[in-house]
Structure 1
Amino acid sequence: MDISGLSGNPYVKVNVFYGRKRIAKKKTHVKKCTLNPVFNESFIYDVPTELMPDISVEFLVIDFDRTTKNEVVGRLVLGGQSPIPSGVTHWREVCDNPRRQIAKWHNLTEY
């Protein structure tokens, strides 16, 4: 957050974990000067179907700042490592329906 207490330059860092080991990472473009960003970006990861139940995907929403350390605004984890039940059930639905997009709303948690 900047001095005014507002987040204005967010981006999302996506980490893919197999168990507790990070196996891939990517990030979106920074959306400048907005408190209501839309990240209409896709990432493709090549994961064998049989490993999907052991995969977790972490989304970190981060406020980009050139002068100070970038600050994590919130976090979402989908998969078995999710601290919230909705993150586990959403991932289970994704695993049960391969190659089908499953869209749901989630609240961010603290990092």
Structure 2
Amino acid sequence: GETYVLLMKELRAMLDQLSAETGRKYELTSAISAGKDKIDKVAYNVAQNSMDHIFLMSYDFYGAFDLKNLGHQTALNAPAWKPDTAYTTVNGVNALLAQGVTPGKIVVGTAMYGRGWTGV
């Protein structure tokens, strides 16, 4: 949590110094988990001050790593059959907004591929 915020601050300072030397603008972004349990471990409301964008990885919610549960790998909302599903795009965005992250800094990443199962 705190280490991530410090890392972003240090990287921003280094990029700003490089920008002063080269006259170019350098963006600082990070791709993060969409799980609220993961988001809650970092003060993104503070980290965002050093960042240009936060990429929310809203994919791979289901896959070969979990052969007991099926679902949309890039779910926007929880399915009707399991409304308490924790890992959804909406839950991830709402967790960032609840921390006070600026909406314009949130970029939703989605999967452009599919997965299939046999024998289910």
Smaller-chain TM-score bracket: under 0.3
Q: By percentage of residues, which structure has more strand?
A: 1
Higher RCO (C-alpha 8 Å, min separation 6): 2
TM-score (norm 1): 0.26
Higher helix share: 2
